[in-house]
Amino acid sequence: MSVLAVGDFYQLPPLGKSKPLCVYEEGMLDIWKDNFQMVNLTQIMRQKDDLVFAELLNRLRVKRKMDTLTDEDRALPTETVIDIKDCPLDALHIFATNKGVDEHNRKTVAALHTDFVNIKAQDYAKDPTTDSMSLLNRDFVPKVNNIQETTNKDGGNPKDKSWIINEGYSKDGSRSTCEESAFQHRV
């Protein structure tokens, strides 16, 4: 049997306390070293149009903690740093935590949209004896997978599928919420 495994052993480790997937430990079986032949790719494809930046990334990729950066390598990444106030809203923003992403998304949505409908989430459970859905009577809806108790949505276009929480459009384009219709669904 032949196995082709593709990856980057210089990939950044996971955030937090998670351990990288491929770390050599003394006395442990090393599947990669013992059973695979390593082939290094030499042609840069992702940054092929910006050779200076690509070469910097490769130097940083193999740099050890005790190695010093050249003045040029230190200056290049900071040349394009701009203040967040000057950054376009539609530019890619990278955050280390979900909390930072949520805060940025809230600010961006508030800046881009003004016609909001606030829909209170309703928690339903399926009754195993009757197979019907019933509204749970409680004052809170648990936060699951970062879905908040309420969801803000702009009053947008039914063809725009960037939102979908407890609301829908009929064929004639009129809006309908779960409270207004007999339709109930599970999230």
Is residue 17's pLDDT more than 70? no
Sign of CA dihedral 12, 13, 14, 17: negative
Token reading at 23? 């770390």
Longest Cα separation, the chain: 72
| Strands 167-169 vs 150-154: parallel, antiparallel or unpaired | unpaired
Q: Does pLDDT of 19 surpass 50?
A: yes
In tens, the pLDDT along 67-114 reads 999 999 999 988 878 887 888 877 888 888 889 899 988 888 888 877
Token pair of 112, please? 């881009």
pTM listed for this prediction = 0.39
Instruction: Give the Cα separation of 40 and 38 in Å (integer).
Output: 6
Query: pLDDT class for 143, splitting at 50, 70, 90?
Result: low
